[in-house]
Structure 1
Amino acid sequence: MTPVTECLSRESTLYQAIDIMKRKKWNVTPVVNQAGCLVGVFTRSILYQMVLDGRELPTPIGAYVRTDVVAFPVDTPYAIIEKVVENSNVGSGIVLDDEKRPIGLITSIDIALTLLRTSYSLREQLETILTTSQLGAVMTDERNRVIFVNSRFCDMLGCTDEEMIKKNIQDVIPGIHTTELKEIEHDIHRRLQIGSHNAIVRLSKYKTVKGREGFIVLFQNISEAEQMAEELESVKRWKTLLQTIIDKAYDGIVMINKKGSISFLSPSLIELFELDKFQAIHKPIDELLPQLALTQVVKSGLANISDFMEVNGIQYIVHRIPIFQDQQVVGAIGKIMFRQLQEVRESFKRLDSHESKNGAIKQQRRRSESSRFTFDEIITGDYQMEKLVRSISKAAKGRSTILIRGESGTGKELFAHAIHSASPRDEKPFVTVNCAAIPEHLLESEFFGYDEGAFTGARHKGKIGKFDLAHGGTLFLDEVGDMSLPLQAKLLRVLQEGEFYRVGGTDRIHVDVRIISATNRPLEDMVESGLFREDLFYRLNVISFEIPPLRLRKSDILLLCDLFIKDLNKINGTSIIGIDSEAEKVMLMYEWPGNVRELRNVLERAMVFAESGKIQLDDLPDYVLKKTSLPSSEPPVLQQNLLNKAEQDTIQLALQKTNGNKSKAARLLGISRSVLYEKLKKYGMNRP
C-alpha cells in the first residue's frame, strides 16, 4: 500500500485538496472527521467537477465529498483487495487501522507492482531450488530457441546466459539431435559431455503460452560423484599405506573406545604379547592387557607415560594418550615402545653428560661476565620498539644515569643488562639491587656495606656493599620507587659526591659507578606526595625511556612465542613445534597485563598440558579464555542466555507494534497463538 500521511476534512478548501493531490500525486485523498476516522474520499474527478462548476479555491469541499468509500481493515487478505479494487470505479481503496483511521491507499498500480514482485520472487525461488539441487536447466520456445538458462548450467558450460539466449538448443547441446526432438513422446535420459563435465540429461516437453510444444532440459553433474568414487579409492589406498606406516614406524599401537573395548591392534603389539587378533578385537582392555592401564586415561583425560615394564624378558614403556572429539574423551591410544630401548638410554646418558658439561661452562662464563644479555637478544618486530632500542643503544655508550620505566614484566632488567653490555664499562662489574626485595633495615648495609662490629650479628671482618662491588662498572637499582626516604638521601650524596661511608665506619669510600634504575611506579606523583625526593628524581631521570607494554605491540607476541617455545623445549624436555591458529587468535586478543613475563608463564603452562605437537585452545588457562571474545570460548549456557534475551526482545517489540494484541503479534512473528502464549509464560510476560 501507499502510506497516508495527510488527510482532508469536510471543512478543507479546494486549494488544500489541490495542494495535497499535487504533492502526493494521489487520485484519491481520504476525508476524516475530528476524531480522525474515515467519512469519505475526495477524488480527482470531484476536483475536475468543482473546477467546471466554477468553484473558487477557498470553497469548502464538504458538499462534494464522496461517501461510497472502498475501505479495508489492515489485515484484509490480498485476494479480497485485488477483487474489490479491480471492480471499483475509483480504482483505489483506503486501508484502515483498528480505530477506523486511514493509514494507506491501495491502487491498481500497487496491485500490479505486488504481482510483479511476486513473479520475480517465484522466479528467484525456482532458480534457488535448481541451484541448491545442483541441477542445470535450459528451456526453449516452440522453435527450439533457448529462452532460459540458469547459472548452474552456465557454470558447467563456462558461458553467460546472454550468450545462450535465442540460440538453437542443438547449438547449445550438440549431443541432442533434431530427430529426437521431433519423435520424443516420453522423457529421455542420457549421459552427455557438457563442457568439461559429465552429466545425466533429462529432456522433457511442455506447453508454451501459444499452446505449442517447447522443451525443458535438466542436467545433473555427475563429475563430482565420479570424483568422489576416485577419492574413495584413494582413501582405501591411503588406509593401506597408513596401516603399513603404523606397523613399521611404531613398536606397538593399541586403541580403545570410551567403554574400554579394543578397536585396533598393530601386528607388532600382537606379536609382543602373543595375542590372537580376532579374539582380541572388541574385548575389554582391562581383561586382556590390564597392565597397560589405558582406561585410567579415558577417565582422567590426561596423557602420561608408564614406568618400565617387562614381558617375556623384554622391557617396554607405554605412552598413554586420550582421544578427544568435540571436547569429550572418546577413547585412548597406547603407544608401546620396546625396540632399542637400551640404545635410547645410552643416547640420553650421553646427552645429559654433554648438557651438564655445557651448563658448567655457561655458569663459569656467567660468573666471569658482568652482564648476561645484549641488544641482539631483544626480539621485536614493532616499529616503535625498534626505534626505542636504537635510541637506548646510543644512550648506552655514554656515562649518563638512565631511568627505565615500564609495567611489571616488560623486560626492564633485560634492557639494563643490554645497556651495560653496549657501554664502555662492559668488561667491568654489573651489580643488581632489587630495592623491593631487600628488607628496609638491611638495604643500607647492602648498598654501602658495614665495618666490623657495626651492629649485632655483623660479620667479624665486616662486608663490602654493592657500590664497592660495582666500582668501575654499573649498578642497577630495580624497583627504585620502593626505596625509603632516609636511604634516598644517602643515595643522593653518593650520586653527587661519588663517595659514601660504610655502616659503622669512619673512612670515606670513593667509587666510580654508573647508575641504571628501573621502576613501574609513577615517580612524579610520588614526588608530589612527598614519597620520593625531588632532587634524587632529577638525578636519576637524566635519560629516561619507557618500555611499551605487550598489549601495545601485539606484533611481538608470536615472535616471542617462537623464541620461548624453543627455550622451554630445552628446559622442560617438551617437543612443541608451534601454536594452533585458534589459540594464536586468543593470544593476540588477550591484553597481557603481566606483559612478557606472563606470556612466558602461560606458554610454559600450555606446553606442559599440550597433548599434540601444537598448543591448542584448550591448553591455554581459563582466565585467558574468559577475557577474550572468541565464539568458541563462550560457555554454552551464556550462548543460550543470549538467544533467550534476543527472543524476548523480539516478542516485546511485536506486542508494542500491535498495541498488545496477541493475535496480531503472533501473525507478525510467524508463529501460532498457542506458541506465543507458551513463550509469554516462559519469560514471565503474560502479566496484564
Structure 2
Amino acid sequence: MQNVIIIDADKESIRVLQHLERIESFRIVGIVDRSEQGDSKKFAIQNGIPHRPDPESFLSENVQFVLDFSGESQFTYNLKHSQITVLTKPISQLIVKLLASRCVDLDPLQSDIATYTSIFNSVGEGMIGIDKTGYINLFNDSASKMLGFSAEEVIGKPILSIIPESGLPDVLHTGQPESNVELQLNNGLDILSSRYPLFSPDGTANGAFAVFKDVSGVIRTAEEITDLKRVKTMLEAIIHSSDDAISVVDSDGLGILVNPAYTRLTGLTEQEVIGQPATVDISSGESIHMKVLETKRPVRGVNMRIGENNRDVIVNVAPIIVDQEVKGSVGVIHDITEMRSLMKQLDHAKALIRELESTYTFDDIIGTNDDLLVAVSQARIAAGSDIPVMLRGEPGSGKELFAHAIHTGSKRSEGDFIRVSCASLDVEAIEAALEHTEIHHEKSSGTLFLDEITELKPDVQKTLLEYLGSGSITAAGHPIQLSVRIITSSAANLERAVHEGVLCEDLYYQLTRMSIRIPPLRTRTEDILLLTDDLIAMLNQEFGMTIQHVTLKAMQRLQSYEWPGNVRELENVLSRAMILTEAGSTQLDEEDIVRALSSRSEQYTDSALPEKRTLASLMEDHERSVLEASMKENNGHKVLTADRLGISLRSLYYKLEKYKLI
C-alpha cells in the first residue's frame, strides 16, 4: 500500500486524482492547500481526508510519494525520510494526464461492476462460487445470512471447509449441472440448491457456482397446510354426520356451509344456499344469522319457520369470532315436530308408569295454599269411610292424585285401584270393572275411580246407580253382591249436566254425598315453587339429569303464567324445558321456560281462500277445525269441550258425528 500526499492540486487535477482512491494500492493520507478556499481543501473535507496548510506535518515514515502541483521551485522539504519520493509539478501533471486518459475507460467499467455487485448482494437467493481448485471466490450477502459467515471469512477458503456436504466439487469435476437438490446445513437450515459448472472459452471447467434458497419456511407452511386440510376434513365429516341441521354464513351473511341434515329439513340443496343471503331459507320471521352478525352475541331458542315445507323449528345461532373479529355465524336448527313426538311418547310412558305404580299418598300432595289444605283435610276424612266421593276440579288439578291418596289411606289399600275413563264405558265394561275390583284380592275389595262421570252413557249410569243403591249388580240374570269403593271425578258443571239431562239426578245425589273441590293452580301461585322443586327432582330421575333449581326470573315467569292445564301442564312445561336446555346445565333459565311455554301447543294457520267455494262450505270447514282444536285441547273430554265452546253436550255429539270426528 503506497501512501500519497497531494500539495495545491487544482480542480481538474482533483477530479482525476479521485481515481487514486479506487486503486487499492494507493491511499491519499493528506492534502496540503495553503489557500483557505482552495479546491484541494474542499475535496479533503468532502472525502474525510486530513488537510493542513503545511506539508511538513504530513512527512513521516508512512509516506512514500508527494505530488506537488504548486510549481514553486523554492519550496523545499525536510527530506530526512529518504523513502519519500517528491514528484514536481510537471511530473504530477503528467501523471494526471495519464490517469485522465485511463479514466475514460475505467468509469463505465467501474459503474458496471458497482451495479452487478449491488444486484449480486441484493437477491434473496444465496450464491457461492469456486475456482478450479475448489476455493471460494464468490459469496453474496444472502449466502452470508444463511450460512452465518461473512465474505471476508470464506473468500479464498476451500468450499468443503465451509459446507462439508457441498456438491460443487462434483459439479466442477463432472461438468454436469444439478437442479433443486435438497440439503440441510450444519446450522439446521433446509435449503434447495441448484449447481452449475463454469467453462472457459476452450471448454475447460474452471469453476462452479451454486444458487440456493431457504425452504424451511416453505416446509413448515406445507406441513401446516397439510394439518389444516386434515382438521378441515375431520370437521366437515363431523358436521355432515350430525343429525342436527347446521347452517354457516360469512361476515356478510352469505351462506358458506350446510350439512345433509339441513337439506333434509329445509328441502334446500347446497347450490341453493351457498353464496346466497341468510334469508333464503326463512318462510317467516327475521334472519337470526343477520341479528347475530350485527350484535356479535349468540341468540338461542328462537321459534321460526324455514324451508319449502314451512317446518316449525327452534334455532340457536352463535357468532364465529377470530382474533376479536366476527368472521361469520353458525346456526343449529332443531325440528320441533320430532321433539313434540318424543314429548308425547314421554308423556304416555309417564302415564303408564304411574298407572302401574299407583302408590300415591297424602304426602305426595304438595302445597300450603289454604283451599288446598281444606281439600286434603276432607280427603283424609273420606279415606276413613266407604261412602262415594266426588272430586271436582279443572283438568290437571290433581283429581287422580287425590283419588290415589284416599285409596292408599283407606282400609282398602291392599286392594286394587282401578281408574276407568267414563267415555269408554258401556254396561259390560262397568260390570267387568266392578267384578275385577271386587275379586282381585281376597282380603279386601279395591277402589274404582271413574274419571269424568258426566261422560257416562245413560244405560251405564243406570247400572252404577243400581250398584250404589243395593251394593249389587245383575249379571246373567243373577244379582251379584259387591263392596267396591266408588270415587268419581268431574271437571264439568255437574248441576248444569243434571239440568240438561246429561247426568241422572239420582246418580248425582248418590255420588256427591261427599264432594271435594280441588283448587286450580292459578289460585295458589305460592305453591308453584314447592311443586317445581318436587317435579324437577322426579324428572331428574326419569331423564337422568342434574337440574338443581330454576333462576329467579324463570320462577317469576312460571308464577305469572295462568296455567290452564294446572299441575299437569306445569310438569309438561318443566319436562320440555329440561329437554331443551343446554347439555350439562344444572339450572333452568328464563329462556328455557319461555321456549318450553312457546312449544306447548301446535300452531294453526289459516289457509288461503280456495277458488269456487261457498260461504257455507267455508264456515263448515272452520267449524270442523275449531272442534278438532278444542277436542285436542281438552284431551278428548267431551263435557269440557262443550263447556269450552258454550254448547250443550247433545249439540257437541251431533256436530262430532256430522264431521265424522268420533
Q: Do both proteins adopt the same fold according to a TM-score greater than 0.5, normalized to the shorter chain?
A: no
Larger Rg: 2
TM-score, with normalisation over the residues of structure 1? 0.37
TM-score, with normalisation over the residues of structure 2? 0.38
